[in-house]
């Protein structure tokens, strides 16, 4: 213990001596320190790309959970098509690249001192901070829906135990039961994911419990890929799946977990299984860092993903306000790379230029029936907007072979992106 203290003191003394000897500009050019908070598709991508582009930089990834559980394809876990372990990844590859890993929650960010405080361990100073905290829920909306209620009425909107809970409830339900999904307003993580989930639950019910029914109560009047989903539902799940839009009393205003009841303005639905996906906002650490605005989300400069609210802090992934880009894993991955390029340029004293980004979201309507929505985006007036004439959905009319090809593409995409980010 004493020896350690002495060594530390000696080290500090040496550092201070070196400081005294050197002119300030040279000191500022020491190894750049970049801290990334959040190890999902955005953060883990960004950390890797930063280390690739700037091998001398000290890149530290702060992530509370040493096991990452991916949301894309987790609707397949809910409906028994795949196992949760197929969704799970670790950070060994990042460790092998020389990225520092801190598996503890970040509790405080001081933008003036440029430090990240962890729940335990050293305070981390940074030159640039990248926040990729994903989403958190607006607990209390619908009324009565809090964290305790989610143990009875799972959201399953962060993959893991919640995914398995919803699966067990579906498995335990008797044939003839009513399943209700409550869908939140925009902006939300994975805006097509609700309708993929409804589709795959309908597939599960049709094949296992055909006397059952599924109702989607929606706080929105429209959703992406709507025509394609609805046409496929008509064809595959007639009479089984009912979508109730906002304008038809679809918004759930309160829930009663004890009785598994969902209440809209005019109707009370008593469910056998209730999946309540609550309204969302940027992950809590974004608020603590002062980079979230009154909407609860984080504005960014599209060229750098830097926050206009706090210098030297960048926000990527679901937490960021990225205009027309959906909050998807593909978008998070694309933004993670773009942000790493920008941060590397900034550290080298260069001015990054904003470029185009791509997003591709696949949805499964059935295990062998895939559809997609694609976008190409460019920054206009400080926000990402759709490039006209590009992007769009799969064709409304298409042979089943094309739907099967897109289901295969979806699976290939998941394998690729998880290898690229975690493999």
Partner 1 sequence: MRAAELAVAAACFFALVQGAAAAAPAPPSGAASCSGCHPTSPKAETRVPRLAGRKSTDIVAAMQAFRSGQTPATVMDRIAKGFSEPEIRAIADWLGAQQ
Binding site for partner 1 (CB under 8 A): 18, 21-22, 26-27, 29-32, 49, 52-56, 330, 333-334, 337-338, 341, 344-345, 348, 352-353, 355-358, 360, 372, 374, 376, 378, 387, 389-392, 394, 402, 405-406, 408-409, 412-413, 415-417, 419-420, 423
Instruction: Give 56 or 174: the residue with its C-beta nearer to partner 1.
Output: 56
Residue the block writes with tokens 């809090």: 146
Q: How far is the CB of 226 from partner 1 (least distance, A)?
A: 17
Instruction: Give 38 or 72: the residue with its C-beta nearer to partner 1.
Output: 72
Q: How far apart are CA 63 and CA 254, in angstroms?
A: 33
Q: How far apart are CA 293 and CA 287, in angstroms?
A: 8
Instruction: Give 31 or 66: the residue with its C-beta nearer to partner 1.
Output: 31
Across the strands, what pairs with 273? 179
Q: How far apart are CA 164 and CA 84, in angstroms?
A: 8
Q: How far is the CB of 405 from partner 1 (least distance, A)?
A: 6
**Residue 155 in tokens:** 């959201």
- Segments of 111-260 assigned E as strands: 115-118, 124-125, 128-131, 135-137, 178-183, 213-218, 241-244, 254-256
Q: How far is the CB of 353 from partner 1 (least distance, A)?
A: 8
Q: How far is the CB of 349 from partner 1 (least distance, A)?
A: 10
Instruction: Give 149 or 341: the residue with its C-beta nearer to partner 1.
Output: 341
Nearest CA among 169, 144, 143 for reference residue 275:
169
Q: Exposed, middle or buried: residue 48 (CB in 10 Å: 0-12, 13-18, 19+)?
A: buried
Instruction: Give 121 or 355: the residue with its C-beta nearer to partner 1.
Output: 355
Q: How far is the CB of 421 from partner 1 (least distance, A)?
A: 10
Q: How far is the CB of 207 from partner 1 (least distance, A)?
A: 26
Instruction: Give 70 or 285: the residue with its C-beta nearer to partner 1.
Output: 70
Residue 253 near residue 263 (C-beta atoms within 8 A): yes
Backbone angles phi, psi at 350, to 5 degrees: -95, 165
């Amino acid at each position: 213990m004493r020896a350690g203290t002495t060594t530390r003191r000696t080290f500090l003394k040496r550092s201070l001596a070196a400081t005294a000897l050197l002119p300030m500009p040279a000191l500022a050019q020491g190894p750049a320190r970049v801290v990334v908070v959040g190890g999902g598709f955005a953060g883990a991508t960004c950390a890797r790309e930063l280390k690739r582009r700037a091998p001398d930089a000290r890149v530290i990834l702060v992530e509370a959970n040493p096991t990452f559980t991916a949301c894309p394809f987790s609707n397949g876990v809910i409906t028994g098509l795949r196992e949760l372990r197929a969704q799970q990844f670790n950070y060994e590859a990042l460790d092998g690249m020389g990225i520092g890993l801190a598996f503890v929650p970040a509790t405080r960010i001081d933008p003036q001192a440029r430090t990240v405080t962890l729940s335990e361990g050293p305070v981390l100073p940074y030159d640039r901070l990248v926040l990729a905290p994903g989403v958190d829920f607006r607990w209390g909306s619908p009324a009565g829906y809090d964290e305790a209620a989610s143990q009875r009425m799972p959201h399953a909107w962060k993959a893991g135990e919640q995914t398995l809970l919803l699966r067990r409830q579906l498995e335990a339900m008797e044939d003839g039961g009513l399943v209700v999904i409550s869908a939140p307003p925009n902006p939300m993580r994975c805006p097509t994911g609700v309708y993929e989930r409804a589709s795959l639950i309908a597939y599960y019910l049709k094949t296992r419990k055909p006397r059952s029914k599924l109702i989607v109560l929606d706080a929105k009047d429209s959703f992406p890929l709507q025509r394609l989903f609805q046409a496929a539902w008509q064809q595959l799940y007639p009479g089984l799946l009912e979508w109730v839009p906002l304008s038809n009393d679809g918004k759930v205003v309160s829930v009663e977990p004890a009785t598994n009841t969902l209440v809209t303005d005019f109707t009370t639905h008593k469910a056998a299984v209730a999946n309540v996906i609550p309204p969302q906002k940027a992950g809590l650490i974004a608020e603590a860092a002062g980079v979230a605005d009154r909407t609860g989300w984080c504005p960014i400069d599209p060229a750098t993903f830097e926050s206009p609210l706090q210098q030297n802090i960048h926000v990527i992934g679901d937490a960021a306000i990225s205009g027309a880009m959906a909050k998807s894993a593909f978008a998070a991955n694309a933004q993670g790379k773009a942000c790493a390029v920008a941060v590397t340029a900034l550290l080298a004293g260069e001015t990054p230029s904003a470029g185009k980004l791509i997003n591709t979201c696949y949805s499964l309507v059935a295990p062998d029936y895939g559809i997609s929505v694609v976008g190409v985006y460019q920054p206009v007036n400080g926000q990402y907007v759709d490039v006209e004439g590009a992007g769009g959905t799969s064709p409304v009319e298409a042979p089943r072979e094309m739907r099967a090809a897109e289901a295969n593409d979806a699976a290939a995409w998941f394998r690729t992106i998880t290898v690229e980010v975690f493999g």
